[in-house]
Amino acid sequence: MTDPIRVAIASAGRFHVLDLARELLGLGFDVRFYSYVPAARAEAFGVPRAALVSLLPAAAPMLAWARALPGVAPGRREAMLHRALDRAVARRLRPCDVLIAMSGIYRDALVHARRRFGASVWLERGSRHILSQDEILAGIPGAARPTADTIARELDGYRFADRIVVPSGHAAASFARDADAAAKVFLDPLGVDLAAFPQRAAPREGRDLRLVFAGSWSLRKGCDVLAAAMAGLDGVTLTHAGGIGDCPFPSGDARFASVGAVDQAELPRIYGDADTLVLPSREDGFGMVLTQALASGLGVIASDRTGAPDLATTPALRERITIVPHGDAAALRAAIVAARDRRRSGEVLPALAASDRGTLSWRAYADRYAEELRRHLAGRR
């Protein structure tokens, strides 16, 4: 191939595909990023204005609705936003060899890209097969479930796509229920900006174990299981960074502290004060906090329904990662106790080598993606 591969990436906000756009540009692909992310913000993350196609005019009414009346008909607002973005990309799409689009949002644009330009269509699915995800959430009383409209658009996308990109092994395995879709799955764990999450110079002082949980305090992320696992446990504290979702926060317990939602720029400081990140999700396509914490030098305790098993790619990373069954408070408690006892004994994790951290980077993620793009498109150009 002599001409660069032309890649269109259809997002909504930033998501991880903005990082994908930046990295593919750096690898020599011709990339256009369709999103309502403001140009200045896209540039701050390394995507130049020349590569950005703004969807802000199409999204503006729904974004204003969300700010002014966040609790009014959120399902209807989301459906309207997705349709507006879908139509806008279909209208504004330029010639491309491949369209990479967020699943559940884009459908008409996929059809347009293939019919008009002969493009290959790749769906970015950040979690499990939509029917598997819905079944899991249906079994959690009070958990928010995907709407019927979202489910329909997801299933349409699976049928139409050439490839379905997922970030974790458990997400890939969930597609086994759908043989046609399963044959299209490409697994590529997400990365992290290593410069934004530097490895701390030395472990913090003290013998108590300091846990950190970053994300929405919710049933989906197993926060009720986490609270149960820590019941009556001494020598352990937990800092929560994020909003409070559908799970009550144990605010009356001095071992738990929530700093609320924070900008990503604050996370390195929060990680620097912790020993171990805990992520006991019942259903979590990946959990980008995993790569952030590992890059920062922390250990990780996570469920088998996160991306943690997929990040244990070197001996040093395997040493840092403990996997527990989802929904199992006893197993989670045992993992926390083991980490606490290691801390009390004075055992600390050695620093990660640059090669270990490199496997966690956005460039490593994009290299895998680029290789698959070239292989898939080789016979089409």
Helix residue ranges, H only, 118-231: 130-138, 148-160, 169-173, 179-182, 223-229
234 domain-assigned: yes
Q: Residue type for 87, please?
A: R
Can you tell me the distance from the alpha carbon of 144 to that of 140, in angstroms, rounded to the nearest whole number? 9
Residue 214 forms beta bridges with which residues? 241
- In the prediction, which pLDDT does 115 show? 96
17 domain-assigned: yes
316 domain-assigned: yes
Count of residues for the chain?
Answer: 381
Domain check: are 173 and 42 in the same one?
Answer: yes
- In the prediction, which pLDDT does 68 show? 95
Domain check: are 145 and 182 in the same one?
Answer: yes
Q: Give every CB contact of residue 284 below 8 A, 6+ residues apart in sequence.
A: 127, 220, 221, 303, 305, 306, 307
Can you tell me the distance from the alpha carbon of 334 to that of 252, in angstroms, rounded to the nearest whole number? 24
Domain check: are 92 and 109 in the same one?
Answer: yes
CB 61 within 8 A of CB 85: no
Domain check: are 20 and 167 in the same one?
Answer: yes
CB 303 within 8 A of CB 279: yes
Q: Which of 175, 177, 194, 160 is nearest to 356 (CA)?
A: 194
- pTM score over 0.85: yes
Domain check: are 54 and 145 in the same one?
Answer: yes
Domain check: are 348 and 371 in the same one?
Answer: no
How many domains does the chain divide into?
2
Domain check: are 74 and 184 in the same one?
Answer: yes
Which ranges of the chain have pLDDT less than 70? 1-2, 203-204, 379-381
Domain that holds residue 172: 6-191+362-377
Can you tell me the distance from the alpha carbon of 125 to that of 355, in angstroms, rounded to the nearest whole number? 28
CATH number at residue 331: 3.40.50.2000
Domain check: are 102 and 219 in the same one?
Answer: no
To the nearest 10 degrees (0 to 180), the angle between helices 130-138 and 148-160 is 150
Neighbour-count burial of 80, counting CB atoms closer than 10 A to its CB (0-12 exposed, 13-18 middle, 19+ buried) = middle
92 domain-assigned: yes
Domain check: are 116 and 257 in the same one?
Answer: no
pLDDT tens string 146-156:
988 899 999 99
Domain check: are 12 and 56 in the same one?
Answer: yes
Q: Give every CB contact of residue 323 below 8 A, 6+ residues apart in sequence.
A: 302, 303, 304, 308, 309
- In the prediction, which pLDDT does 381 show? 55
Can you tell me the distance from the alpha carbon of 36 to that of 53, in angstroms, rounded to the nearest whole number? 8
